[in-house]
Amino acid sequence: MFRTYATGKSVCLVFSVFTFLNLTPATCSWATNPGIILVDDSKTTPPIPLPPDAENMNYDAESGSLQFDSATGPKELAQFFRDAMKKLGWTAEPSVIDQENMVDVMFSKGEDQLNFTMMKMGDHTQFSAEGEALASKAAADSSAASDSSAQVENGNTLLTFTDKDGLPVPNEGVSSGSESTIFRHSISATVAAKVAVVVDMYRKELSDKGWKEVEDKTKISDDAATVIFDTPNGPATLTVKRDGSDTSLQLGISDKLAASKSPLFPKPGQVKVALGNITEKTVTVKIGGKAIKVKALAGSKAPDGPMIDIAPGTFKAEMQGVQTETIEAGPDQIWMIMVGPGGLLPIQAY
């Protein structure tokens, strides 16, 4: 199945952005004998070698995450990093996933670990990496300073926030990540605070941004909470859940104007489910018990795969031989479900 990798203060969702969500393909070329580009350890460039054809790079020095596109195939790109990282003292662990369309490699150096994933997406490869060794010293020092100044009240850390693409991320998070589609952007984090503390702190922070809570849709208990907000750009949802001794949270905001102009926009009160398939084999996926045939590579370059409208609530996405995914969808939401070599990956697009 698809997995979430967590290292220190960073979380990376593998396949967080699909080609049919980002319609700008890589246009660069790859040299026959690519050289290694060593970059400075700073807040704008990652402290690892990069292939010459890396494009559309997104590097977060604070969380230690890196994404880019490459015209090189996953296997060739993985070999580039095995060779380059070896010269820097890193050891590549045996790869469980090593296919033509996807390679996953874990590198280790002392107590440090880096996870690299290379996934074929249409005419390019999407690369993603996570690990504290990717975080710049300046960002780490800044984050540590924020953590050390956190307030504590009744044994609970009071949250302070840093803006990330318009959404507040808690500085006190033991892990954090983000996810984007053409209609929705969200952040997630895990913090050492009670559900009530997280909700109260976010209420204040989002109220200061001019967001209005939809009180009749808010649900709060000791172990979980869902808070809905109206914003100038569209609806936003904060979900909070107790997870052992910590609390996990996700805050997502949707672009209603952009979604309403799209053929993906659901019928009023319904849920739109769009399917894609990045494999080269036609498959059958069951959505809420209804069998849907998804052709090879459907939705890999544009949202041209099959779509259905279903009633809101809990439904299952099923495919023979892979783990079933259970999805809880609200009215007027858009969900995209991609078939990949690792199974089914659902993601809320709106």
pLDDT at 227: 94
pLDDT at 239: 94
pLDDT at 71: 92
pLDDT at 157: 55
Collapsing DSSP to helix, strand or coil, 197 comes out as: helix
Rounded Cα distance, 263 and 226, in Å: 28
pLDDT at 136: 60
pTM, entire model: 0.51
Rounded Cα distance, 132 and 113, in Å: 8
Residue numbers of the chain with a pLDDT score lower than 50: 1-43, 137-155
pLDDT at 326: 93
CB 289 within 8 A of CB 7: no
Rounded Cα distance, 28 and 20, in Å: 19
**Class level of CATH domain 150-257:** alpha beta
Rounded Cα distance, 277 and 3, in Å: 18
Q: Please state the separation of Cα 173 from the chain's center in Å.
A: 16
pLDDT at 250: 92
Domain ranges across the chain = 4-134, 150-257, 262-348
pLDDT at 44: 54
Q: Which CATH architecture has domain 262-348?
A: Sandwich (2.60)
Q: What is the CATH number of domain 4-134?
A: 3.30.310
* C-alpha distance across the termini of the chain, in Å: 23
pLDDT at 2: 32
